[in-house]
Structure 1
Amino acid sequence: MQFVLPLNRLKNQTTLSVGGKASQLGKLLGSGVRTSPGFVVTTEAFNLFLESAKIRPEVIKILSSIDHSSSVSVGKSAQKIKQLILSKTIPQSIVTQVKESASRLPGNTFAVRSSGIVEDAQEASWAGEFDTFLHRSSKTIGKDIQRCWASRFNPRALVYQKEQKINPKNIGMAVIVQTMIPSEVAGVGFTLNPVTHDAEQLVIEAGLGLGESLVSGQITPDNYVVDKYSFEILDKTISHQAFLLKRGSVGVVKQTLTQKQGSKQKLSDQLIKELAKQMILVEKHFGHPCDIEWAVAKGKIYILQSRPITGIQKEVLEPPKHTYKQMWETAGFGAFGVSVAVVESLRFRKEFSSFSEKNWFLTSEKTQCAMYYSREEMKQAAKWGKKDFLNPAWCKEYFARSKKSYQSAGSFVKKHSFSTLQNFSRDELYTATQKAGDLLAELFAYFTMCQPQCTADLENTLQMELQGNISSLEIPKIVAELNRPTQMTTIEREQLDWLGLCSMNVTEKEAIPLLQKHADMYGIIGTAGSAKFDLEYYQKLFKKRNKQEAAQEFKKKKKYWLSVAAEKRRLARKLKISSQAVKIGNIIADVGYNRFELRLQGWMPLYFWFLSALFPTLEKRYGLPTHLSMQLTFVELLQFLTSKQVDLKELEQRSRFLFYRHDDGRTSIITGPAGRKLAEKNVPPLPKNVKELSGQVAQVGLVTGKAFILRWNSPNLNEDMDKMPKGSILVVGQTLPHLMPAIKKASAIVTDEGGMASHSAIVSRELGIPCIIGTGLATKLIKTGQKLRVNANEGVVEILSR
């Protein structure tokens, strides 16, 4: 039986035999373009392997037992199947045909790629779901094919199959083996503009060296926009490339580029136009818009593969499929913070959670950042977040991982002070940076897993559970009670300790060592405002203390924390609240506590370590100013530590303005006029003549008063808080720990950001301050001094004066 077929002889074979990717490659050879020679190991070979190894029944049994709502179940099942496949031997008949076919290919290194079986799922591309092995020798091809087969059951592939409603009994897999092209330039191309969906434009992305660095997101590629009919180059964005990947004697090696080499245009105008013409040939041959991988070697263009741009060909003339909503704002985050928080963290989210966003963008002007997520993907995040958090095994693991990571952060920061770093060699500094960056990415992964969009369905389910037994007017109040954490967060421990300290019968001088100890333990709370709360800060507060009031408040808080768990149980019994509602309320409460600790013990101190220890070390040792280090992505930071080369002009542009985009998993940073143009095009316009805003009730109450806006980009945030009159309605993007002085003066709180596990929700409930969260645009539509009525019984903010 023929188990191996040359790509140039794939004529009548169906995708069920050779897979979608191999079928496309076979057709490419008939379109008149140049591609890499190779062969495909058919699905019949995989079937024979399963039968000869006698593992098919066991594989199907494992697949049928998966709980797809549980990432733990999916992960364990995937691992079992992988071990089964890799422990068996490929039949000799298949090995012989593979060796003979490989010997007839030119070159001595190969790419081994999966070719998924699509069957009836025309919209499913399987893109990125399986594993690829590059620069392999003829000696390893057999094992690499086996590893490709095993990747058919990767966790992400199993979830994707479920989402795409692909027949679960269809477990076939074909594998492609091709000669590696030693590319000088490589990249991807789209036969319609993937951002605007303009069918009259082509978009080409290009990087120096092998294409892996571009596809994996390690570099920011050049971007060229070409008219589809005249082949006029409409726009060029030239990016700096710090390194390239090339084929070495063994595997792939990294070559550092000089400033001049990395800043040049990667593909000449002539080759851009020639490639555009070949892309048109491919699109005409297939009859639909294509996503194309290409390479240039010795001046010749090779089309490596092509796949349909899924979910778009029917909607080319319609608006883009994603609409965006601002979800959070922050200050002090440059390209580094964003790259770690929402790009590098995806590695950990994909490994553990059931869903991670592929489409978002962020604008940053002088480190004042606004984050926008796809509304469509936020619905998916809500659905999968609910399934994850309602899974006891997943939830337990999530909290355990979170705690381990923020404890590791505390230990790392203690061992790597600024003075310690001064004695580090270059290699030691690189190792410490990589470890800190990976840990920070992991912390942000767990933090973003419980963003408001991830817990939205959980919160809605709680409200629905309460309907019927409880009046609609009482539900917000009961929800707030059920969502109260029973554990004190770091901020609440600090408040209790501070009240205890202020109620002590000691002089200001006698209090100094106590205040220093307090600052050492809790000063990190101030780093959200870019500086620790130090001894001087606490001395000023101590001078203003009222010993009697502090003692009373201390007793009140201590009593509250001793009784909160019992009060929740009493409430549930009194109102006959279902066990499911109590369970969900406890989960949200635990998520809120965990989110606090991830922030206060985890990413805040570790991010501050970069700002206060690592970046000043780089400035002292290599002359790179800290404000520019903040504009390096994490990958660029590691590259700088090895090459000492950086594009200062690009970093200066980023520090002024950047548009950071994640478009279907592809990341890019655009600065200057082009970045501002994209921001203007993508940022939703503000509504006009708004008289009221709606949001989510975090703490019930009805308050009328004057608004006081706090903005993250204020250069004098502490002074602004001092100026805030007592009794004001605090309007802010999101309350954070270092805003407590303003929060305590507020008669009500209104926030842009939402989530019952947010800082605003938890603090307002504890302090009994009426609070409405998740209004979206309050800080943009309300002005300081305007008269507001905050109806936190119904979740409505009325603007009473203009």
Structure 2
Amino acid sequence: MTSDQQFALTLDDADATDLALTGGKGSALARLVGAGLPVPGGVVVTTAATSALFDVAGDDFEAALDRLDAVDPADTTALADAAETVRAVIRAADLPPATVRTVDEALAGLAADTDDADTTFAVRSSATAEDLPEASFAGQHETYLHVPRDAVVGRVRDCAASLFTDRAVAYRARNGVSNRDVAMAVVVQPTVDADAAGVLFTADPVTGNRRVATVDATFGLGEALVAGETTPDSARVDRDSGAVLDYEVGEKAVVTRARSTAADAAAPAGTGGTETVPLSSDRRGERVLSDQQLRTLVDLGERAEALFDTPQDVEWALVDGTFLLLQSRPVASLFPVPTPEPTDDRLHVYVSVGHMQAFPEAMPPLVRDVWLRYVEAEAPAFGMESFWTTPAVEAGERVYFDLTPVLRLKTAREDLPDSFANINEPAAEGLRDLLARRGDEFAARPTLATVPALARMGWTVGSLSAAVVPRTLASVARTLVSPPDPADVEAWFVTYGRLEADRVRGMETPEARARAAFASLDIPEILTELYPRIAPLFVAFALGGWLKRRFPDEAEDVNAVGRGFPEELVTRINLGLGDLADVARDHPAVADALRSRATLDDLESTDGGDAFLAALDAYLDEFGHRATGEIDVSRPRWCEDPSGLLGAVRANLAGNESGAHRDRLHRLERQAEAAARRLESRADIGPLGPLRRRVVRHVVRIYRGTVLVREYPKQGVAHLFAAWHDVLADAGESLARAGRLDDPDDVWFLRREELLAALDGDADGGSDDGDAAELRPRIEARRRTFERFRTVDAPPLLTSEGEAPRPPVDSDLPAGTLVGTGVSVGVVEGVARVVRDPRVATVQPGEVLVAPSTDPGWTPLFLNAAALVSEVGGPVSHGALVAREYGLPAVVSVRGATHSIRTGQRVRVDGARGTVEVLDDGVAGDGRSAAPGRDSDSDERADPDRDAETTPA
């Protein structure tokens, strides 16, 4: 094949499937043609041709590209100016004669195939970085429809220039793609007038269900649908049975059609050779597709999905009763299906382990392996190995727990959603919705073969209950009489955590220590010891619920009696930070240094620095084993990296007076006392009033004496998390010194067996197993995958079909109102501060903290916050507890809050109604959060960035 011929390839050419040569769109169409799917004939003007055009532009092109590369992507004005310069340079250049000749010959062949002298063409961009699973680049490059033959070469040049549209350059910057790592091909196909056109998703883009296909369809060409100018018909089809689950006839007020003559098709850029006109009223209520046509279309989509091995977003046209596929690309927004898949061919449902711990974020592979091992240990602990073959799965760099065996029990199907509601309301509502629709699919199907396994499970659970329940009930009874000493409760959990941590750290070799981090805990022993110790929390939650039911109109007083505890752990964490700020205030040089973001080394030579550092050391002795997102054991503990703590101290210096934090605690204590008296007074009514007063007084006393220990278990187990972090980080250091890893942090991107094999090889003096060169490509690939999913919002609940069950959205809410779960009453208006990483952010006094989650590592940011908005959580999640303790209005489980709200916007948080209203556009406070991100759960069927290219047939 000569170089001239490489400038243009027909879609049935074997080389046309080469992504580097024909781009994402072109290579996908060529693969569809090769698989025998119905695709209009066409040619691809290759990347070799457009590269030749860039070569013609020469030094001017290189200079313009250098200028573009030097622009800060956050400076949108400069970025647009630089991108326009690149486009202008390309448009001023002429395609080389060899390229023009090759394209003309290809067009002549296409025109001959159509046997129409007036044939017009669809000319569509096909970049090498588009239509990929990790980045679709939909709508970022240009498409021209109904282009006359003599104008095609010019449109090819325009498509080449569109490699540098403002939106494409910005999109590449957001997705980490270099402007120099992409190239552009151009797909050219004869235009055919479509009777109908639309979009097929082989998986439901709203729910994620891989067994439901969705179709949008409209009469005529697809431009009006893509541009959002018409409401199409919408249908959902069960892929397994072929049944049409629902079909909604859209209004279809307008229809797009080709202009009547070739002369009209040469209209100025932007008109596209088409026109959009009103659809006759008698056709607006007609169905575009019959049930049989839907099944035919879905079958074609399934063939495309099988070809590409991933769900497809297919653009199609219907011409004279025959479907033509115009484009096929991955559905980029889908959250992955859990792996491994079930082996029993039944529907399974999984809950995110991270969401249950107020940590919805992605975790690197080695951390996931830690939690997979611990979750997997639960099946044998309860004698459920036969039913719980895969207790934990992975999806989107998260760990999910299989609820299915539990849901085999009818009582669990009835009660589990209510239990979840206290931790994660969206998970609870999603589970209710799923069980309402498909609850029968989870029912047990016992057979004679399962009797021995059921008996074994019953014996194990019964034996465990016999050991746990009596001691727990006895502890509850004692607590109802008199609450335990908080110091004793904390001491037990801290001692337990330290002993387990010492066991892990005490192993002799790096391999043994790493193995200890993955060793299963003795769950029966833990439950036997743990449940009696946490009985005060059972009592606290029960009595708190009783007070809410007894005084339904006194929510603020009920909340007030549950806060104001100097012994409470979160209070102590924040009091300590306030005390550190006061030490700095006592030494102005230290305060100035902290405001200037001085390092700890800088403070050593600062006047008064020794006093501040001594106070910091004392603080870290008590809390240094904690961390932000501490269940992700790859993250440094506060004792390693106290920068987040110093940021909280710095914010405290800016916004509070000396001693203000302790004054606030005393105020909360007084409010609690006053609230308790008011509740007693309200109970003292009627003949039994004195008795009810005494009962309420006792309940409040026990409640206050038990609710304050709620964070003590985490204080203890965090010692174990810190030990896991230390030994696995040390393993990374050891392997890096031995040359088995390029960087110690690479250890977090190994899987457990790889780590142990590498450590074993190190102990043996070296082997080929676990060599750095062998591990490097795996680590790099896993890092890329991790970064891809790090910013994706994971669903709290996920089925084996990929569906993410979610509560329905209230369509009657005012515009700009977000809904979640109100967990701390009160109404606050303030300026939003969107924070994704509390280690590098601060909250100024009076700002509303908007966060993806709030585990104990977020506690320092509550010092200045006026209210809390969180994407995950429930009434007993950490953020809710802290908000109530501090008297902050709080709404949690607000889906997409960090995407929908920008730093600087004014918001109104209503903790009673569970709503967050965005009041204005605001002024972005920093570059990281100035622009809202795209919610990964958004409905892709209304994607404004989709190419207007559904009419090339």
Structure 2 length-normalised TM:
0.39
Q: Which has the larger radius of gyration?
A: 2
Q: Relative CO higher for 1 or 2, CA cutoff 8 Å, sep ≥ 6?
A: 2
Structure 1 length-normalised TM:
0.45
